[in-house]
Amino acid sequence: MADKPTINFGLDGVYVDESSICKVDGQNGKLWYRGYAIEDLADRSNFEEVAYLLIYGKLPTRREYDAFEKSLKERIQLPKEIMDTIRIMAPSAHPMDVMRTATSMLSMYDRDPMNKEKENTIDKIITLLAKLPTIAAVTGRFRNKKEYIPPDSSLGLTANFLYMLTGKKPNDFESKLIDLMFILHAEHSTNASTFSVLVTASTLADIYSATTTGIGTLKGPLHGGADEAALKMMNAIGSPDNTEKYIEEALEGKKRIMGFGHRVYKVYDPRAKIVRKYLEESLTKEPSQEVETLLKIALRAEKLMVDKLGNSKGIWPNIDFFAGPLYRVLGIESELFTPIFVASRMAGWGAHIVEYWTNNKLFRPLEYYTGPIGNAYVPIEKR
Ligand code: COA
């Protein structure tokens, strides 16, 4: 038998492609979308502009922006069959399962779902970008036995999401917070879900199949599901004074502390720093006892984890750690955190699909076989 090859479990450290979409500098805690620093985009841009930037590779002119925004607004509503399906599923299924199913259904309304021409692919991405926030909002309504709220055409995509979810027009600060979360989650190079999207896309399946694959991958608590899991942990800790005991016991029990650690970042995730900054600002702008307590727990957990594992193992807070408390400023329930992540990551997934299809190559890695060879087949009645 051939010598055992080097196996990079979990593709750790393996490059699978070239890309000009996103640069993650894990040693220095830096992130750029198409060359623009995440801090600038977070403070100065908005989600529509960032989605345009990721997909087209440049910032839009005013005219391009207006046309893009108009297309999104025109497509925001969902077909009746999808609304009905969400109504059936939402009371008992996790919102990510609803999201996966509803997204898959969108292919029914595309007369040419297998079309892979660049302009047609971008058109499909715009449809998905417009409808995924609505799927998340409607799911949030129906799972709580509330009625559908139609979008308000005076609002942007992310503020509309919040409006359709809560029935209340967000103020400027609330609009900024939800938009910020969409910007920060929009893209992050070839992480697990983006890779899975590309694996499906590389077979030349359609974009709805690729997106559904991505949603399934994002659900797991080691990836997108960490935001929901981290908030649940903070709620289980309950009181700030309980934080150290809870974390110490969890670590002794070899449990993972959700919202910490990252395959690429070995320092503080720059997105987590941004979320923390806005979270602290929220305490003066939208004071809330719940959020104040969550932030105290989060900061004590952060201090302990960084003292114990920061420099020694490179385990620092990631974006998912502070995301939950920030969503609570907006009154969003934890089960909707990952669906919001999906709706924003669609921009990155879409950008990667467009890029990958310009030079498509089927993903087909190898595995090192360790089982037997040449077994004698015995008929079932003789076993
Ligand atoms: N809490 C406690 N220990 C952690 C940890 C965490 N959140 N993340 C990693 N570790 C420890 C592991 O136990 C392991 O320790 P060991 O070397 O003693 O066995 C070491 O750090 C390396 O972990 P490993 O799982 O091999 O690294 P990875 O690169 O595969 O892990 C994650 C990356 C994200 C899967 C991991 O950090 C994790 O599970 N984090 C929690 C989930 C999360 O927040 N995910 C969102 C990422 S944006």
Atom 28, ligand 1: which residue's CA is nearest? 263
Angle between helix axes 80-89 and 95-105 (nearest 10 degrees) is 160
Q: Pick from 364, 294, 376: which is nearest to 330 by CA? A: 294
pLDDT digits (tens, 9 = 90+) for 202-253: 999 999 999 999 999 999 999 999 999 999 999 999 999 999 999 999 999 9
Q: Does residue 8's CB lie within 6 angstroms of at least one atom of ligand 1? A: no
Centre of ligand 1 from the C-alpha of residue 320, in Å: 13
What's the gap in Å between 212 CA and the centre of ligand 1?
26
Residue ID of nearest Cα to ligand 1 atom 26 = 263
User: What's the pLDDT at 1?
Assistant: 60
Regarding the beta carbon of 318 and ligand 1, being less than 6 Å apart is answered yes
Q: Can you tell me the distance from the alpha carbon of 8 to that of 367, in angstroms, rounded to the nearest whole number?
A: 11
- Nearest-CA neighbor of 243 among 318, 302, 316, 327? 302
Distance, C-alpha 20 to centroid of its chain: 20
Q: How confident is the model at residue 311 (pLDDT cuts 50, 70, 90)?
A: confident
Active site residues: 262, 320
Closest protein CA for atom 9 of ligand 1: 261
pLDDT for the residue numbered 310: 85
Q: Using CA atoms, how far apart are residues 198 and 357, in angstroms rounded to an integer?
A: 9
Indicate which atom in ligand 1 lies nearest the CA of residue 313.
21
Burial readout 208-233 (b: 16 or more C-beta within 10 A, e: otherwise): bbbbbbbbebbbebebbbbbbbbbeb
Summarize pLDDT for 93-115 with one digit per residue, the tens.
Answer: 999 999 999 999 999 999 999 99
d(CA 296, CA 286): 16
Q: Please give the distance of CA 307 from its chain centroid, rounded to a whole number.
A: 28
- Residue 202 CA to residue 143 CA, distance in Å, equals 35
Characterise 7 by phi-psi region: left (phi > 0), alpha (psi -120 to 50), beta (else). Answer: beta
- Atom 36 of ligand 1: nearest residue by CA position: 261
Write down the residue that tokens 């055409």 correspond to: 153
Q: Is the CB of 259 under 6 A from ligand 1?
A: yes
Report which DSSP code applies to 145.
T
Instruction: Please provide the DSSP assignment of 291-316 as one string.
Output: HHHHHHHHHHHHHHHIIIIIHHH---
Could you say which DSSP state residue 2 is in?
Answer: P
**pLDDT tens digits along 146-165:** 999 999 999 999 999 999 99
Pocket residue to mutate for ligand 1, from 260, 268, 304, most atoms within 8 A of Cβ: 260
**Residue from 247, 249, 256, 319 whose mutation best tests the ligand 1 pocket (most atoms within 8 A of CB):** 256
| Global pTM value | 0.96
Count Cα neighbours of 295 within 13 Å in the Cβ-side half-sphere.
20
- Distance from Cα 256 to the centre of ligand 1, integer Å: 7
